[in-house]
Amino acid sequence: MPGRLTQKASIWACLLLAVVLGACGYGFYKCPWLLLALPAIAVFIWRSNVKYIRQMQALAQSRAGEDICTFVRAFDCHSTDTWILRAVYEEMSRCVQVDGGAFPLRPDDRWEEDLQIDDEDMSMDLLPEIARRAGRSLEHTEKNPYYCKVMTVRDLVSFLEHQPKLEKEGKPVVVQNG
């Protein structure tokens, strides 16, 4: 299975960051009273993060001892592509890490309500990487019977199973099950 891709920030991203920071600095220079709002915003963000971390730690603690093996056993490995299972588990648990460790996923976890992954993160970041690692195409997703119906991790696995396999050098990628 292909590993996770890592990307370095481009020169354009660095320039954009410099422009944004410069604009913020200019805004604070022109309207110094905006600086008073920064501590309130920082406290709000900090409290939200602490609440999220505590909630996810409690959920992870209630699943102590569960791992990818527990996750995979919830599926029929004879009819489910195990590369999809591994890609989904590894990428989603990496996204929801708690205390630096992989988060124990369950097939019926809802990604927004339970895992607190928003739709934009799922569709723009996670889904393309999961599909790439599983050797699945994301073309013509509107023809997929699970299109716009993916709410749980199990739904995501089913959605990817109904996507065509990627071709490699003119030949379909062979993905072995079991």
The encoded tokens of residue 108 equal: 């019926």
20 within a domain of the structure (yes/no)? no
**Residue 34 placed within a domain:** no
108 in any annotated domain: yes
* Alpha-carbon 170 to chain mean position: 30
The residue segments making up the domain with residue 139 are 63-172
> Could you read off the pLDDT tens digit of each residue along the chain, which spans 178 residues?
666 655 666 788 788 889 988 888 888 888 887 777 878 888 888 998 888 888 888 888 888 888 888 899 999 878 888 899 999 999 888 888 777 777 888 999 998 888 888 888 888 888 899 999 999 999 988 999 988 888 999 999 999 999 998 876 444 455 444 4
Distance CA 96, CA 111 (A): 10
> Against a cut of 0.85, is the pTM above it?
no
Nearest residue to 70 via CA among 102, 95, 114, 106: 106
Question: Is 11 domain-assigned?
Answer: no
Q: Is residue 8 part of a domain?
A: no
Instruction: Let me know if residue 70 belongs to a domain.
Output: yes
* Cα-based angle 152, 155, 125 (whole degrees, multiple of 5): 75
The domain total for the chain is 1
Asked if residue 85 is part of any domain, the answer here is: yes
Residue 37 lies in a domain: no
